[in-house]
Amino acid sequence: MDPTDKIHIGKLIRQVLAEQGRNITWLAKQVGCSRENLYKIFKREWIHTDMLQKISLALGYDFFKVYSDWYKRKNVN
């Protein structure tokens, strides 16, 4: 990812979910929200950190690292 690019966290979550062969119903149960809310998250470039934490734990994927890596690349002087 180019450091000037925005992170679209919703698309990334959907991609990781698909790569793991899991479905939205499974994730909704894991994080305690509705499928409809997850579909809304998939469309957004942002997410609340508490929900991102739940999704990260459910999928075993450090989505926070995506932001951290982006920040490190962006601030290379």
pLDDT digits (tens, 9 = 90+) for 30-55: 999 999 999 999 999 999 999 999 99
9-68: CATH topology is 434 Repressor (Amino-terminal Domain) (1.10.260)
Percent of all residues in the chain with a pLDDT value above 90, rounded to a whole number: 79
Q: Which of 63, 69, 68 has the alpha carbon at shortest distance from 16?
A: 63
Q: How far apart are CA 56 and CA 31, in angstroms?
A: 10
Average pLDDT over residues 7-29: 97
**Token pair in block for residue 15:** 């991609």
- Cβ atoms 67, 5 nearer than 8 A: no
Predicted TM-score (pTM) of the model is: 0.88
pLDDT averaged over the chain? 92
Q: How far apart are CA 22 and CA 44, in angstroms?
A: 20
